Amino acid sequence: MDEVIAYCGLECPKCPAFIAMRDNNDALRKTTAREWSKQFKVEFTPESIDCSGCRATGVHGPYCSMCEIRTCCIEKGLSNCAYCADYGCEKLTKVHGMDAQCKARLDEIRSGL
């Protein structure tokens, strides 16, 4: 299950940046750039809306390439935060405050450890 889960618990194949790149969908890139710019109060361009997936090599979305959680998991050699001894750290709590589904996914993975 956790092969398609980003370090923070996001399900990459459901992310519009992942879908836009996979399908080469310019309309989705434009819509996502507009929506994310409004939501995050940072200017996103359609050209920046591409991502191979958090744990994949290749292109990463405009935030994913500098994400603290991604960097932390890579440095610790973890598949995602569910495997971390510091699970529930402040960095992760911020993300989970915006997306409760991410936390639920990681909690499910942790329950099986």
pLDDT at position 3, please? 58
Per residue in 19-58, pLDDT tens?
999 999 999 999 999 999 998 888 999 999 999 988 888 8
Per residue in 61-107, pLDDT tens?
877 878 899 999 999 999 999 999 999 999 899 888 878 899 999 99
Helix or strand or coil: residue 111? Answer: helix
- Taking CA atoms, 5 is separated from 22, 46, 109, in Å, by 16, 24, 10
Among the listed residues 73, 72, 74, 70, the one whose alpha carbon sits nearest the alpha carbon of residue 60:
70
Number of folded domains in the chain? 1
- Helices 100-111/90-98 angle, 10° precision: 120
Domain of residue 42 covers 2-111
* pTM for the model: 0.83
pLDDT at position 1, please? 44
DSSP single-letter state for residue 112: T
pLDDT at position 50, please? 94
pLDDT at position 86, please? 95
Chain center to CA of 105? 12
pLDDT at position 94, please? 85
